[in-house]
Structures are given as C-alpha cells and as structure tokens.
Amino acid sequence: MAEITFNDIIKPENLAYKRSKLMTDNVMHYCPGCGHGTAHQVLAEVLEEENLQERTVGITPVGCSVLMYNYIDVDFQEAAHGRAPALATAVKRLMPEKFVFTYQGDGDLAAIGTAETIHTCNRGENILIIFINNGIYGMTGGQMAPTTLPGMKSSTSPYGRDVSMMGSPIKMADIVAMLPGTCYVTRHSVNTAGGVRKFKRALKKAVQYQNENRGTCFIEVVSNCPSGWKMTPVESNKWLEENMFPYYPLGDIKVPAE
Amino acid sequence: MTEEIIIAGFGGQGVLSMGKIMAYSAMMQDMEVSWMPSYGPEMRGGTANVNVILSDERISSPILRSFDTAIILNQQSMDKFEKSVKPGGTLIYDGNGITRHPERKDITIYRIDAAEEASKLKMQKMFNMFVLGGFMKVKPILKTDYVLKGLKKSLPERYHNLIPKNEEAIKRGMELINKV
Amino acid sequence: MEKELRLMKGNEAIAEAAIRAGADGYFGYPITPQSEILEYLMEANPQATTGMVVLQAESEVAAINMVYGGAACGKKVMTSSSSPGISLKQEGITYIAGAELPCLIVNVVRGGPGLGTIQPAQSDYFQATKGGGHGDYHLLVLAPSSVQEMADFVELGFDLAFKYRNPAMILSDGAIGQMMEKVWLKPQKKRSEEILPWATTGKPATRERNIITSLDLDPARQEKFNLKLIAKYREMEENEVRYEEFMTEDADYIFVAYGTSSRICQKALQLARAEGIKAGLLRPITLFPFPKKRLNELADRMKGMLAVEMSAGQMVEDVMLSVNGKTRVSHFGRMGGMIPTPEEVVENLKSFIKG
C-alpha cells in the first residue's frame, strides 16, 4: 500500500478553516473551552481580510484578556482597568486614519469603566468597542460581575446574586444604544459555528462604519467562563444558551440607517 | 520706581479690569508689571481686590501686605485696607456708601466722588475709569495715550466704540479728585 | 514670526505656549483655579490652525487616560488640573511612568487635603516629587515662579519628557495661575510629523508590533525594569538639575523656596538685607531632580537654611537630606490657601537666627 502523505489528506481545495496569519505562535493562557480564544481568532481574521494590520491600534483591558497583545500581531496599548475607551478616544482623535478598537470584559466595561464607556459612546468616537460578557470576573477567580445573572453564584455572591442587595445585571448594549453617538450596537456569541459567522459579519460591518466615520460601534459577545462558572466547557455552553441568552438576547439592537 | 497698588471694592465695580488696564498701559511704557487678583466665589457679588505692581525692575513678590497706593471703593475694603497703606503712602476713596471715613494722619488721602458723577452723567458702566483718572492725576505714572491703548487691548472689539467715552471719564476723574 | 509680548494669566500662558510648542493634544476637566487653560484652548480652537486636538473629558481619570493613549502614539499630549483632580489622575500617571511614555501634566496647586480650598498652596510637593501613585517612579518636576516660566516650561517640559520618555509635571499654584504678568511668547512651531519607533501607530511589515504596557508578570524581569527606571532617574539627577540663586555669595543664611514662595522670599531678602541680615535665596527650578549637590556645597558656608513653603513642611525634608546635617535647617510655612507675606518671612528668619 502506498504511503499516504499529509498533502494527500489535506488538499488546498479541501481547506475549510485556517488560522489567521495575524495570530502569533504564543500559547494562549485561556482556559479550555473559553470564548476569548475564538473571539481573538475571528477578530484576527477580519483584521487580516480587511488589510488592517498596518493601521490598527488595539487597546486591551484589565481582565482575562489583559495579555491579548501577545496573541494578535498588531500594535497594542494596555490600559488601566476600565479606561480603554479613554485611550482609544485619544488615539482616534490624534490619528483619525487608524482603525481603533478596544476589547473589554464585563468588569472592565460595565463596572469600573462605566463612565468611560458611556461618555465615549456619547461623544460618538469613531472606534469599535468589543465587549466580552461572561457574567463573572474570570481573572481574579470568579467574583460577581455587574452582568452576573440573578441568583447566580460567584465567590462574592456565594448564596447567589440577590438583586435586592446587589442590584440587577446591567445591560450595557441596551444602554449605549440609547445614545445618539453610537451607530451600531449588536449582541453575538461565539459558542457555535453559526454564532462565529454572525460575529464575523458584525465585525466587518463595524470596520466599514468606522471607515465611514459613522460613530461608535459596540459589539457585545455573550460568552462563557467554564472555570468561573465551575462547569465543563460543554456544560458551560449549554448553561450559556439556557440562562445567559434569555437575559441577553442575541441580535442587532441598533443599526445605522443606510 | 516701584508702585505697589491695591484696588478693592465690590465685585462688579470694575476693580479687576481697572487693574488690568493699569498693567497693560505700564507694560506698553516698558515697565514690569504684575496683576494678582483675589479669586473665587467671594468675587460673585462680594468683595474683590487686586494687587497691581508697576516697576522699572524685576518684580519680586506679587502678593503684598502693604501698599504705596490703596484705591478703596467700599466700606468693607476701607475697614480692611486703610491700615495697609505704607506710612507716607496714598489712599484714594470714593465717598459713595462710606460711613466711616479714613482717619490716618501719616498718609495722603484723596476723595473722588466717582460713583455720584458717573450716575449723574449716566456713565455708570465707566465708573472705574473716573477712578482711574483720579489715580493718574495724583500718581502721574501712566500716560493717557498708553491707557487708551491699554483699553483697546483689554476691551473686546465690539466695545471699541466706547473708548472715547472712557477717555472722557478719565479726564473728568482727573478734575474730580480732591485732597482731603 | 517674531516673539510676541502679551499680558497674560499664568493659566492662559500655559495654554498659548502649548499651541505654540506644537502640542498634538490637550485633554482636561475643569477645576478651579486652572479652568482658564481649557477655556483658553477651546476659544483658541487650535484644531483649525495647527491641528492640535482639545477635548473636555468626562473626568480627570478619563483625561489622564486619554493622555496615556495619545502618548503611546508618540504624540505631544498634555493635561492640566488642580490638586483634587491631580489625585484622581494618579492611577493614569503611574501607568504612564510604568509604560515609559512622555507627556506633560500641569498641577495648579490649591490648598488641601480633600476638597480643601481654591486658594494657592504648595502642599502637593510630596505627591509630585516622590511618585504620587503606586510603585517606584518619579516625574520630572518643573516649578515656575512667573508667568513667563509658565509659558517657557511647557516646551521645556515636553522636551525633557521626550528625552527621557518620562512624564513631566509643571508644579504651579493658584497664585501663578491667576496672576497676570508680561510674557514673551515664542513663535509658532509646527507639529512634529515624525513617527517614533516605539509608538503604536499601526504595524508596518518592516517592524515587530509595538506594545505599550506597564505589565510584566515575571518578577525578575520587572525588577530589571525597575533598575532601568532608577538608572534613568540618576541620569536626570546628573543632567537636568536647574536652580536660581539670589545673593548667595556673601550670605550667612539662605531661604530655600520655589514658585510663589520664592517670589515672596525675593522681597523678604531685600527687607532682611535692609536690616543688615546677610540673607540669600536658592530657588529650585526642578523639584525632581532636586538641587541636592548645590545645597550640600552651600551648606559648608551657611549658618542656616530656612525652607519657605506654602505647606506644613514638605520640601524641607529634601533640604535636610541634601545638607545631611552640615548646617541648621528649619521650615516656615503658611497653609490652607494663605500666602505668607515678605514681612512674616523676615520675622521668621529672625527667630530662626536667634535659634
């Protein structure tokens, strides 16, 4: 029997998926099953396909994705907790020809950085805000986030989030959609192939809108945290669909008039 | 020559702008100048004062406790600053609303009823220019030409048509001031 | 274009000098006694002429982080505030120092602690010179004592900040901010179009990606970075110490005072000399690096040094460290927005001399 080589199995015409050239070789520190890795890959694909590497400045947050700059091969600034939109504001104002995005978690964007988020959107800065909402503080070990669901347990809500004491989970996308400065506000997921495709399309729209100076684009990704939620990846995805999606329904919240 | 001046009165009497015009004019006469206002909420309707220094030399402290000349435009300022005039110095005051007149014997005191005159001539907005005229008469440091140039610099363009009126007020102030 | 003579408030001079120095951006939030800086810039609208960006941020915190973002692009950016606002900015300032970015921060100091007063003070000396935020770092601190220096130190501050890739601060106070004096303004400089090699301006194929961060999770590498910072501060101490002396040649006693206090001491000096006291003055212009060496030299022939500050006694500690016990050192200060008078300073010098 003739020997079968790698190229016999993986023929270029059969290529269905490949890693973006903008992903670096660094080994990711994310937990198995975490949505961050997928979101990074999709973002890298869009930056590559839209030829944006040379004019992209990304702003990373404090949270699990603090080291995002290790994984995507573009220029990055690492912000203080919650302040990414302030940095992005200055970068875009000083260099309007650049493509500027922030990538922030729920603690960063919806708790400590609420003021920056609201005011950056209100000024209608021509930037893209990517908001990863997994309802928990992953990096610091599973504390309650502003987006933690009612009754959901975390290390700082060990009996479940009591909304009478701890407030209700905050829907940032709906809040910023009310501001005239935002042009595109949409909610997505990356836990299924279909979700990934939709997220990618949303990112491409955001690139287009930023090129057209239309205002702030805000893309929320409702995601999972197997470690923080203390579940297997498969369980966490099921929980995501059954619990997070009903509270944070996927789809467009605000789209620009054509 | 160094002239250390305080102008004190109510906010709205033009205390700060009178000081500013003095500083502008002196600057155009190639002098060193400093203008140090009291600032903050006390200025809103309360008392306002400004320290102005005009000098041929580099100015050291812009903040002073004793003055060659005090220009006093209300009773509170009289109570506060009469004692701050250096012995041998000058005190200029507007008699309007003054219930306790200055009493010191070791300084030269001038009175100018500028408020009364300004109101008589319906030139209340130029009250401070009457007072400035009085100062220029008794302390001939600033030249009228430069003061008018200073006015031009410190007034917004839309008020430049009022400069002749201001000049009139300065001239009238010069006549109005009297040694007590 | 020629130099231009104007009568300006210190705050206005800073704003105008920033435009003329070719600054790329100003980000601020109003607070008394320095709001004229933002007001002046908004009215001057340099975006339309030089292209300088001026933005009123939603908070001091946002403003300093805008400065961080702009500085990370290699741009000449600045912010200004007064004491309570500078406290809010400290997080951003330590990140900027940690990421080794150049920028200019102006503090028009008012009395504290807390909301304090809006009147002038010098009670933020420790905060300005010893770090201010967390971690081992220093700002380059310039202390203007006139409106002219308010203008001049904008360009100097930017130059030093870029030379050392370190944030620089102009430590002023409400008196100099609000006071009007003559000021010679330099001609308009063009904004720089240079793309700095370390700046995040988009990665071309010709270089590795630039990452601006203050994070290093490896303690050994972080310590190496700390040592690098220390070496940079030593270099500043070697090259950038600036001060001015008044009648120190034959003096028995000197005042050590910066900013507004140094102006008051110039007058006090004349009053003291008139009474036969051989007084002098050393005015530190850079507060970090501090003129340690010069004070140590002067200590050899001085009977004493009196630090005069509008604070409870902050710079006096650096004077003591500088002279290292060689001569007597004491402090006189007023606080809470009170400004000492020259006469008061002389009285204090006299009682200091008596011992």
Class of domain C243-354: alpha beta
Q: Is the pLDDT of residue C309 over 90?
A: yes
Domain total in chain A: 1
Residue C321 at interface with chain A, using a CB cutoff of 8 Å: no
Average pLDDT, chain C: 97
Which of C32, C178, C267 has the CB atom closest to B61's CB atom?
C267
Question: By residue range, what is the domain housing residue B83?
Answer: 2-179
Q: Is the pLDDT of residue A14 over 90?
A: no
- Whether residues B35 and C181 touch (CB distance < 8 A) is answered with yes
- Whether residues C211 and A116 touch (CB distance < 8 A) is answered with no
Tens digits of per-residue pLDDT, A201-237? 999 999 999 999 999 999 999 999 999 999 999 999 9
Restricting to A residues 111-150, those with a Cβ less than 8 Å away from any Cβ of C are 115-116, 118-119
Mean pLDDT of C25-31: 97
Question: What is the per-residue pLDDT for B179?
Answer: 96
Q: Is the pLDDT of residue C54 over 90?
A: yes
Could you give the angle at the alpha carbon of C184 between the alpha carbons of B155 and C56, nearest 5°?
65
Residue C202 at interface with chain A, using a CB cutoff of 8 Å: yes
Task: Look up residue A112 and give its DSSP letter.
Answer: I
| CA-based nearest residue to C144, from C11, C291, C318, C2 | C11
Mean pLDDT of B91-100: 95
Query: Max alpha carbon distance in chain A (Å)?
Result: 71
SS3 label, residue A228: helix
Chain A contacts of C27, Cβ < 8 Å? 90
* B17 neighbors B154 (Cβ within 8 angstroms): yes
Tens digits of per-residue pLDDT, C122-153? 999 999 999 899 999 999 999 999 999 999 99
Q: Is the pLDDT of residue B144 over 50?
A: yes
CA distance A141 to A130: 22
Residue B44 binned pLDDT confidence (cut-offs 50, 70, 90): low
SS (H, E, C) chain C: CCCEEEEEEHHHHHHHHHHHCCCCEEEECCCCCCHHHHHHHHHHCHHHCCCCEEEECCCHHHHHHHHHHHHHCCCCEEEEECHHHHHHHHHHHHHHHHCCCCEEEEEEEECCCCCCCCCECCCCHHHHHCCCCCCCCCCEEECCCCHHHHHHHHHHHHHHHHHHCCEEEEEEEHHHHHCEEEEEECCCCCCCCCCCCCCCCCCCCCCCCCEECCCCCCHHHHHHHHHHHHHHHHHHHHHCCCEEEECCCCCCEEEECCHHHHHHHHHHHHHHHHCCCCEEEEEECEEECCCHHHHHHHHCCCCEEEEEECCCCCHHHHHHHHHCCCCEEEEEECCCCCCCCHHHHHHHHHHHHHC
Chain C contacts of A63, Cβ < 8 Å? none
User: Hey, which chains touch B, using 3+ CB pairs under 8 Å?
Assistant: C
Interface mutation target, options C193, C209, C215, chain A, most CBs of A under 10 Å: C209
Question: What is the per-residue pLDDT for A6?
Answer: 74
CA distance A80 to B38: 39
Question: What is the per-residue pLDDT for B82?
Answer: 97
Residue reference for tokens 């975006």 = C47
Question: What is the per-residue pLDDT for C66?
Answer: 98
Tokens matching residue A117:
């988020």
Give me the percent of chain C exceeding a pLDDT of 90: 99
Amino acid at B160: H
Which residues does B112 contact at the CB level (< 8 Å), separation at least 6?
Answer: B92, B93, B94, B95, B130, B131, B134, B173, B176, B177, B178
Tens digits of per-residue pLDDT, A117-149? 999 999 999 999 999 999 999 999 999 999 999
Which of A73, A79, A86 has the CB atom closest to C209's CB atom?
A73
Residues in a beta bridge with C305: C254, C329
What are residue B42's phi and psi, to 5 degrees? Answer: -60, -20
Q: Is the pLDDT of residue B153 over 90?
A: no
Mean pLDDT of B49-76: 94
CA distance A81 to C30: 23
| C345-to-C286, C312, C334 alpha-carbon distances in Å | 23, 15, 10
Question: What is the per-residue pLDDT for B40?
Answer: 64
CATH no. for residue A98?
A: 3.40.50.970
Chain A contacts of C205, Cβ < 8 Å? 54
Q: Is the pLDDT of residue A44 over 90?
A: yes
Chain C contacts of B86, Cβ < 8 Å? none
Tens digits of per-residue pLDDT, C180-204? 999 999 999 999 999 999 999 999 9
Mean pLDDT of C58-80: 98
Which sign does the torsion angle of CA C282, C314, C139, A84 carry? negative
Q: If you count residue pairs, one on B and one on C, with CB atoms under 8 Å apart, how many are there?
A: 71
Domain total in chain B: 1
User: Hey, which chains touch C, using 3+ CB pairs under 8 Å?
Assistant: A, B
Give C194→chain A minimum CA distance, Å.
13
Give A119→chain C minimum CA distance, Å.
7
Q: Is the pLDDT of residue B119 over 60?
A: yes
Q: Is the pLDDT of residue C208 over 90?
A: yes
- Write down the H helix ranges in A154-211: 163-166, 172-177, 193-211
Average pLDDT, chain B: 93
Q: Where are the domains of chain C?
A: 4-192+228-238, 243-354
* CATH code for the structural domain at C4-192+228-238: 3.40.50.970
Mean pLDDT of B108-127: 96
Q: Is the pLDDT of residue C159 over 60?
A: yes
Using CB atoms within 10 Å of the CB of residue C272, give its burial: 0 to 12 exposed, 13 to 18 middle, 19+ buried. buried
CA distance C2 to C195: 29
Q: Is the pLDDT of residue B90 over 60?
A: yes
Tens digits of per-residue pLDDT, A165-190? 999 999 999 999 999 999 999 999 99
CA distance A76 to C72: 9
Mean pLDDT of B53-61: 95
| C185-to-B20, B25, C280 alpha-carbon distances in Å | 19, 19, 30
- Whether residues A90 and C25 touch (CB distance < 8 A) is answered with yes
Residue B24 at interface with chain C, using a CB cutoff of 8 Å: yes
| CA-based nearest residue to A85, from A95, A74, A77, A97 | A77
Which of C118, C179, C342 has the CB atom closest to B36's CB atom?
C179
CA A166, distance to chain mean position in Å, is 25
Mean pLDDT of C164-182: 97
What predicted TM-score, i.e. pTM, was given to this entire model?
Answer: 0.94
Q: Which helix (H) or strand (E) holds A186?
A: strand A182-188
Mean pLDDT of B39-59: 80
| Region for residue C172 given its phi and psi (left: phi exceeds 0; alpha: psi -120 to 50; beta: otherwise) | beta
- Whether residues C202 and A80 touch (CB distance < 8 A) is answered with no
CB-hemisphere CA count at 13 Å for C317?
Answer: 8
Question: What is the per-residue pLDDT for C126?
Answer: 98
Chain C contacts of A69, Cβ < 8 Å? 209, 211, 213
- Whether residues C25 and A98 touch (CB distance < 8 A) is answered with no
Chain C contacts of A89, Cβ < 8 Å? 55, 62, 66, 69
Which of B40, B59, B153 has the CB atom closest to C118's CB atom?
B40
Residue A8 binned pLDDT confidence (cut-offs 50, 70, 90): confident
- Whether residues A91 and C69 touch (CB distance < 8 A) is answered with yes
Q: Is the pLDDT of residue B49 over 80?
A: yes
Which of B27, B35, B60 has the CB atom closest to C267's CB atom?
B60
Q: Are strands A136-137 and C77-81 parallel, antiparallel or unpaired?
A: unpaired
Q: Is the pLDDT of residue B43 over 60?
A: no
Question: What is the per-residue pLDDT for A257?
Answer: 86
Residue C69 at interface with chain A, using a CB cutoff of 8 Å: yes
Report the complex ipTM.
0.93
Which residues does A132 contact at the CB level (< 8 Å), separation at least 6?
Answer: A35, A36, A39, A65, A103, A104, A105, A106, A221, A223
